[in-house]
Every structure is written in structure tokens, then in C-alpha cells.
Structure 1
Amino acid sequence: MKINIKYILISTLAISITVGCKKDFLNQTPEATIVGDNFFKTETDIKQAVNGAYSSLIGMGLTSYWLFGEMRSDNTTYQYNGTDRGLEQREFVDEFLSSATAPPIQQYWQESYTAIAHCNDVLDHVGKISMSDAAKNQYTGEAELLRGFHYFNLVRQFGGVPIRITSTQSPGDARSKGRATEADVYKQIVADLTDAATKLPAKYTGADIGRVTQGTAFTLLGKVYLTQKNYADALTALRKVTALGYTMLPDYKNVFDPANKNNSESIFEIQYLGSQNGLSSNFLYQFAPWTSGSTVTGDPGTNLGSGNGYNIPTQDMVDAYEAGDIRKDASLSLSFKDPTSGKVVPYVIKYNHGFVDRGKTNDDFPILRYPDVLLMIAECLNEQGFAAGGEAFNLLNQVRTRAHLPAKTAGNTDAALNVSNQAAFRDAIFQERRVEFAFENHRWYDLLRTGKAVEVMNAHGVRQMAQFSTIPAGSYKVTTNKLLLPIPQREVTLDNLTQNPQ
């Protein structure tokens, strides 16, 4: 269904405008002092700040999330551009060659902590403003959930990171207390998500559709517990999601159509508005082969170059689909041949629904969908004990049925469909997650939490280097140390943080 997401447009403009208007021209607060207490006076101010917290997702969704969640995995790579090497650092992320001074890593860190700061501003001031309990709970829950989400991404990418849960009120507050342990970061994440789940509504109506809900909180909490291998608590959280009325759409392809934004299986998606500067998406362009001209984008007015040809599906990914899986044609295309080499260059088609204006598209980006809940529940049940023909099989096969694939069962006469023990079911879930959530930034995190990242990525690297002669020597030498990104050198220097070994 179509939704009104004007609140995101407000978010990036209204806060700065309102702060400026509320200053008396002759009685201004010193520039070195944060003006949060001067700004937050009404419920409208709080809502604008919450909207600002959502707006942080827009920029991160356009690059950082897929660069570190998808391209760092065996799902996608890049199309080499020998004529313009301006974004070589993105290639290094894919090849495990990034250093602590890499701009994409610094950008990811800064964007995450800026987003966390927006959440902290809300949480530090929401209790001081007169409003209904329902409104106060909603705004608190939204800020807590978003903060927990950002810390969840940070801890999986960097390990223990500084925990900031209050606003920076002066330059003296800028330095952190140093890196917290991973356990403490997870403790903060669980606290944020648990409280958010008690405060957020189950659903919204009207212009508020698209905001995070109770279902978002429980789904994310279940994923956090699953990552920690706490299967009992993960199952408890995920069971609560199934009671909230989510359902899978009958047609997989329709899930990603902009006409169906925030549909019945959407639990959390980044909201984009194609008609507005700064609010539109552009995945259609970034994921198009840079040599494809207007063939892939359909936009003769936009030139392609160094900013295109990313998140290109690997041969590993192309081969991952079973025969007859409708998700393949809904997710990637093999229709483009490079005019120079004559070779097929796959590209992501999942977010290819045309453009609204030059360089602008209206595609949202999914973060959490209901099939994720079903497969996580199935995984938890299997980890608690394999049961041939049990609920875990039913949940797995619900997802497969929509993809027009036959059921997997214990004792199946077809070896490809036979799942006869706990280890085999783990493999079945791992495979199903890959094709169901292709290009949705789950793959790298699934590799990490299942302990498969080193083995899978080294094998993937061998295949990549055999296929492409342009890959630098030393690429894809993946060790346990390489699973965490280096802390940006700027942060190590200015905040006296301990560096991750590389």
C-alpha cells in the first residue's frame, strides 16, 4: 500500500530551522554549547527529533549497509572500472584489503554514532516535555529501538565499541570511556530493545505507517539472541511476532514493488521518497553495470561511471538457486552483456522498478521481513532438538512453497530434498536464508554468527581470483582477525581506542 512519509522530509529540515528560530537574535547561546535544552519545548519538537533519528537510515541505506552487509560476503562483488579508480576503497571492502584509514569504514562509524546521538537527544529530553503517556512511550520506544539497531550493527562489524547513551552537552563530553566489551554492548542492545517492545504500538495507521513497531522490537531482539546462541530467549521473542498478524505476500516479487511499501510481511524497512531531493533511493543506478548505459536503468539522461557497478551478484550467488526458484528472476538478472568483453554481467533487479526523476527512485530497502521470523524460529527449534516432520520443517517449507519449490523432508527419496538430522537442517536453513534474503544485507551477518565466514570467504576468494585477473594480490586472505573491521584510525587517535588486530 502507498504511504505518506512526509515525516522523513520534515526530519532533516525542521530541527535546524526550529532551533534557529527559537534563538533570540541578541541573546544567543555560545556556539561551543549544545542547544538541546533550548530546542526541546513541546511534543512537536520531540517528534521532529525522532523523525531526525529515522532520517539517519536514509543515507546509511544508500551505501554503508549493502557495502558491509552484502558486498563483504560471497553474495556480491563489483564490476571493475579500469578508466575511473575513484572508488577503489569500496573494492577493498569486498576484497578484505581495507585499512583503518579507509573512508568507507570511517563513514560507517561516523554515520552510526551520529544516528545514535539523535536517539540520545530524544531519550534525554522526552521525559521533560508535557505529553500523553502513549506519545511519550512511542517516542521513547522508537529512539531505543533505533539506538539498539545501530549498536547491533556496530558490535557485529567492530566488536566492542564505545557505548554512548546520553547526549553530548559540551566539548568536554566528546571523548568516550573507551571501548566496552562485546558483552556489555549486547547488554545495552537487549535493554534498549526489551524496553522498546513494552512501549511501542503493535501497528500504526495513516501517515505513521512505516515507523518501527512492537513487531520490529521483538524481531530484532530475537535476532540478537539468535546471534548470541541464546535459542530459548530468541524463540520467546520471535513467538510474540507471530501473534501480531504478519503474513507473507503470495508473490515474492511483489514484496519489493514500491506500490506495496510496508506490506503485510514488512517488519522494518528504510523509507524512501523518490520525488524528494535527499529522500530518494538510487539502488537502480548503483547496482547497474557501469558499462550498461541506459539499458538497465532505462534512464538515457543519467551517465554511468565510477558510482555504478556495485553489489554485482557473484557466480556463487547465481548458482545458489535451485531450478524453478522464482526468487532468482525476482532478485537478479543475467540479461546484460558487457559490450567490450561480450560476457554476461549479472545485476540486482530486486530494487529495479524504474525511476521517478533523473537519478531518483522510490524503492524502499527492507531490513526485516516476516519470512526472517519464520526461518529464525525454525533454526531455534532445530538447535533445541531435531524433530523429523516437526514445526521447524513446516516453517522452512512455508518459505519454500512461496518460491515454488518442493518441500524438504526427513527421509525424502530425492537426496537434494532429504534433511535427515540436525546438521542437515542447519544447512537447509542457511541455504534458504541466502536465497530468500539475497541483496537484503543479511548474508555477511549469517556467515559470522554461524561460524562459516572464514571457510566460505576463503573458498569464495579462490573462485573470484580465478575468474577476475584485476583482483589485487593478497585479496581474500580471510582470518579470524579479519572478521572485524579495523577501528577508524581517526577514532583510535582522538578517542584513544584500542585497535582491532588485523
Structure 2
Amino acid sequence: MKNKLFRSIARVVPVVLLGLSILSCKDMFEIEPETTLDIEKSYQNVYDADAAVIGIYGKFLRLAEANVVLNELRADLMNVTPNAAAHADLMEVNYHTVTEGNKYADPRPYYEVILNCNDVLHNFRKMVKENKITQDQFNYRYSDIVALRSWVYLQLGIHFGSIPYVTNPLANVNELKSQAAFPRIEFETLLDSLINFTEKIPHKGVYPEGTSLLVNIDGYNTRKFFINKRLVLGDLHLWKGNYTNAARHYRVIMETASDNPGNTTRYFNMYRVSWAEAFNPEVGFNGTQSTPWDFEWVWDLPFSKDFSPTNPFIKLFANAGGEYLIKPSQKAIDNWAAQTRSSLTPGDIRGTWAVQYQFGQPVAGKYLQNFNPALPFDTKGNWFLARISMIHLRFAEAANRDGHQKLAESFVQRGIRRNFTYPDSLLTTTNPDVSRTQQTFLPAPYDFDARIGDFPHFRAPWHRHDGLRSRAGLQDINLEGATQEGIEDAIIQEAALELAFEGNRWEDLLRIARRRNDPTFLADKVAEKFEKANDPRAGEVRSKLLDRHNWYLPFRWE
């Protein structure tokens, strides 16, 4: 019996991931891609299972370029440079004129990851049945691969709309060309299937300490390399409109460290946007696994200068040492310039590190923190997949749609404690009675306690919570009397300021447009980037996006 799992897994994966192969499974990565393996030799023990997991992530990393291009260039915060005129694929993505053969609109690389996942899941089930791995070893690795596959499927649904949904192992991705054998399902049906399958995974947490996949390689700890399952589940429910369920999953992430109160710094600041641990962007976006990085990043995959796939973002974004094909849009730059700091001075500090200037031109600095044009072959970098500010914004989005506008505003502006401090004659400056304040008094998962007091000394789990604007040193925006849609507009605008260029923008805009059944929401925001650039095609793009069919890429194999 032959297993073709490694037919399409690349032989070389990034050095940090490849380093895991020392766990007795090095030979697996020396196999040529077209070689077939005897199943009896491939899945013998937990280290072989680890090799399969790492092989999947090595393949998954090759989706980074398309993921960022599709989610950013299709939206409003990035635009093409004049250099991109020679790159028809990028121009088509930017102007929503994608034609057959566009490499960014090719679903096959996504399905190569999915089919490899299907093979691995099939063999994991067989391994645990044959007692080659324990039930716990199966639970952790099986759940990881299911969640990763669901994330890839969600991206396919976001960009293509209706797609084939396949959970069985297949030998070759081209088998999916058969429309009769693999009919496409609509996005809503896909969401139902993904939620049903992913909610049933046996382990929803991160890999526990002591798992053989968690190691330190060349100064990197692998803990953040693997997908966060609660993130996937939260996103699936958010897209489906199951807002309470989405918030429940996001809340678990935000309280990841609540089981370790002995370490008060980690307990109060881990995965909470906190006034005590302001995010240091210079540390956060250079891959240094420092304490601020650890408190901020939920999912982050590195590129190595020595192993493929190479970092694609230097070529795309660098004006010095790259080809400078994509740049921050003028709209994005104006967004930051329009903010007012708490000191009443203009500008948002997040813009100063998100955008750098090379040869007088703006570049996406988030992706170039590690790159020195004087060392052009040192191309290490990161694919930034999820950080906690994104989770907070999506939690706020869910809370707002669940009818909790004040709580949603807290996550955007000044935090829970300050937003839920009520005037009361019993409260004094010197000895406040906080028993009836600084809490939300809402049902789970919206029941937050942000109390702080000194007589007696008391610190509730969320007392350090800060809103994103407050953490960035900005004034509040006026949301007095804002409607549900008004709060939602503020959340999406804050996401533009906080998460620009990180691969989230198109899906954020699309999700709101779908939810509101309002094509103008999406069309106007995207067209505005062309208007800001004095691009005469602004009207053309707006007209195209007013047609919902043009929200999705053509699903083609050739």
C-alpha cells in the first residue's frame, strides 16, 4: 500500500521548522517530492507524526505571498507602485480585473495544503487505532491539522465564494477539476461544514508544555508557529453571525494565562491589551521573541534566509533591495495623519512604524524590520498571521452585534475599567468602594471584572485592560449616541489603523458588506484609495464592486 502524502510536500522547509526534524525523523525531509513512501515506514511513532505536522506547515508557508496580496491589495490600504505595471497579476488584483492564469487567483496551492492535511488526518486516525501514538498525542496533532485546514478553507471561501469541499485523501490535486465528482458549495454552506467539523476536534487549546513539537531552535521557540484553534473557531462563528459563540472563543484566547496567577505579569498582561505592557512595534515586528512579542503575538511563522520558501515580502515591499511593487496607499497614510494624540498633537504613532520611507517613497515597514539592503541575501522575516489586537477587535465586533455597544467601545477606546466606572455618591477618591462599579455585569462571555482597589488591596483579572486607542496614545473619538452600525464603523476604522498590511483588510471589509447586505460599504472604501491617488479608474472599480459577483475571484484550475 502506497501513501502519497509527500508527493507535493516540498523537500526543504524553513530552517526553524526543519530543525524539528532532529526528532528522529530527519529522513522524511530528504525524500524527493515525487517519491512515494510505504505507509508502514512513514507513520510508526510520534516523531513520524511530528514530521508530518511540520511538513504541512512547510507547505502552508508557501501561501504567505498570495494571502497578503489578496487580503491587502484587493482592499483599500495598499496600492501598486509604478514598478508593478510590468506585473499583470498584481495589476489585475489591484483593479479587480483578475483573468484566467493569474497566479494569485490559483486555488491549487491552497488545495495542495488541504489534500496533504487530509492524508495526514487519515493516517493519524490509523496510527491511534493501531496504538502507534497515544490518544493524547493523536488529539493534539489531529486537532492542529483540522484547524489549519479549516483556516485554509475559510480563506478559499472568502476569495472564491463557492468552492469544492473535500475531506477525504486524494492522490492528486488535479482530481478536483471534476465538477461532477467534487461540486462546489456556497460560502454559507462551507461555513456550516467548517463549524460542524472544527467544533468536534478533541483538543481546542494550544500544544501543552512537554509536547515534542515545542522546542527551541536557533533561538526560536516554536510555540507560536502552530495555529490557534480558538482563533479559527471564533472567526468561523463571526463570519456565520454566531456572535456569542465567536466571543466565547475569542475570550478564551484573551484569558490564555489566567491559569497561572502566580506570575502576576503574565497573568494580567498575556493576551490582554494592557496599559502595563504597551506594545513595542520595533520589537513586535522584527521577530524577536521578547516579552512584548510574547504578550502580543498569537500566531507568527518565520522565514529563513537559508531555506525555501524564501521571504516574498522583501521583493514586494522594499524600495531598497526589493522590486517595490506594492506600497501603502495614500488613504492609509492619511488615516494615521488624521488622528489626534492625547497630547493634542496630530498623528497616530502606529503610522510611523507601519510606514517607512526609502528613496522618498513609502514602504510597508512592518515587513522590513529585519531587512538591511546592504545585506541583500539576509532575507529572514515573518508571516504575521494573528496578534492579540486583532482578537480584541473581533471580540468587539461580536459584542457589538450581540447588543453590547458600551463593551465594544471599551475595547476600541479606553478600556473596561474606565468605561464602566459609574458615578456614585459612595465612591470617593481616597477610598473607593468598587463593589458596584468597574464591572460589566453582563452574561458570559461578556462578564468582565476590571476592579482595582487598595483598601483592601485588590486586583481583578481585567484591571489593566486598555482600549486600542488609549494604548496608542490617542484621544477618544466621539461615539456618543452611536448606533450599532456606527460602533461597527469605528471598529473597522480602528482595524485599519492597528492592523494595516497584516493580511486582514479585505476579509474585514467583505464580512461587513455581507453582513449588512450593502455593496456600497465595500465599493466606496476600495474606490477611495484610487480617489486619494487621483487614479481615474476609481469609478470603474466602484462600479465593479457594486456587483456582488465581483467580490469573488474566478475559480479556475488552468
Shorter-chain TM range is 0.7 to 0.9
Instruction: Determine helix, strand or coil for the equivalent of 2:326.
Output: strand
- Is the counterpart of residue 259 in structure 1 residue 288 in structure 2? yes
2:215 alignment partner AA: G
* Superposed displacement of residue 310, structure 1: 2.8
Partner of 1:380: 398
Distance 1:442 1:44 in 2: 34
Alignment map for 1:310-459 (pairs within 5 Å): 310-321=325-336, 322=339, 323-334=346-357, 336-337=359-360, 345-355=361-371, 358-387=376-405, 390-397=406-413, 398-408=467-477, 416=478, 418=480, 420-451=482-513, 454-458=520-524
- 1:486 alignment partner in structure 2: 554
Structure 1 residues 66-215: aligned runs within 5 Å: 66-81=68-83, 85=86, 87-106=87-106, 109-129=107-127, 130-169=132-171, 175=178, 176-196=181-201, 198=203, 200-201=205-206, 203-204=208-209, 205-207=214-216, 208-212=222-226
* Cα deviation 1:362-400 (Å, max 9, x = unaligned): 22122111112212222222212254xx33222222211
Q: 1: distance between equivalents of 2:504 and 2:174? A: 38
2:317 to 287, 290, 294: 287
Instruction: Determine helix, strand or coil for the equivalent of 1:487.
Output: coil
Cα pair 1:161 1:179 within 8 Å, conserved: yes
CA distance in 2, matches of 1:197, 1:346: 46
Q: Does the 8 Å CA contact 1:252/1:330 hold for their aligned counterparts? A: no
Change (3 A) 1:66 1:422: same
Alpha carbons of 1:324 and 1:172: their partners in 2 closer, same or farther (altered >3 Å)?
closer
Distance (whole Å) between structure 1 residues aligned to residue 193 and residue 498 of structure 2 = 30
Identify which range, 147-156 or 422-431, moves more after superposition: 422-431
**Aligned in 2, Cα 1:270/1:33: closer, same or farther, shift over 3 Å?**
closer
Residue in structure 1 matched with residue 244 of structure 2 by the alignment: 232
Unaligned runs of 5+ in 2: 1-13, 217-221, 258-270, 340-345, 414-466
- Which secondary structure state, in structure 2, belongs to the residue aligned with residue 354 of structure 1? coil
Deviations 1:435-491 (A, max 9, x none): 11100111100110101665443564366268466969955532211101101153x
From the superposition, tell whether residues 364 and 32 of structure 1 become closer, same or farther in structure 2 (CA, over 3 Å): closer
Q: Go from structure 1 to structure 2 and tell me whether the alpha carbon gap of 1:236 and 1:172 turns closer, same or farther (over 3 Å shift).
A: closer
User: 2:327 aligns to what SS in structure 1?
Assistant: strand
Q: CA deviation at 1:433?
A: 0.9
Cα offset for 1:220?
1.9
Give the whole-Å Cα distance in 1 for the aligned partners of 2:362 and 2:284.
21
Change (3 A) 1:33 1:178: farther
Give the aligned partner of residue 64 of structure 1.
Answer: 66
Aligned to 1:6: 16
Contact kept in structure 1, 2:234 and 2:247, CA below 8 Å: yes
The answer to whether the Cα contact below 8 Å between 1:34 and 1:168 also exists between their aligned partners in 2 is no
Aligned CA distance change for structure 1 residues 211 and 429 (closer, same or farther; 3 Å): same
Distance 1:360 1:40 in 2: 36
Asked if the contact 1:335/1:346 (under 8 Å) is kept, the reply is: yes
CA contact (8 A) 1:226 1:234 kept: yes
Name the CA shift for 1:173/1:284 in 2 (closer, same or farther; >3 Å): closer
State the Cα deviation string for residues 253-273 of structure 1 (Å, max 9, x = none). 132122137622211122323
Cα distance in 2 between the residues matched to 1:419 and 1:346: 37
Residue 171 of structure 1 and its aligned partner are, at CA, apart by 9.5
Q: Distance in 1 between matches of 2:35 and 2:539?
A: 48
Instruction: Summarize deviations over 1:119-162 as a string: whole Å, max 9, x none.
Output: 11210001222122222111101110110010010011111211
**SS of residue matched to 2:203:** helix
Counterpart of 1:499 in structure 2 is none
Q: Structure 1 453/251 Cα, relative in aligned 2: closer, same or farther at 3 Å?
A: farther
For residue 191 of structure 1, report the CA deviation from its aligned partner: 3.3
Q: Map of 1:23-38 to 2, 5 A cutoff? A: 36=39
More strand by share: 2
Cα distance change of structure 1 residues 380 and 42 upon mapping to structure 2, 3 Å threshold: same
TM-score by length of 2: 0.71
Encode CA deviations 1:149-195: one digit per residue, 9 max, x unaligned: 10010011111211121211489965442112323321232234323
AA paired with 1:257? N
Indicate the percent of aligned positions where both proteins have the same amino acid.
Answer: 20
**Aligned partner of 2:191: which letter?**
Y
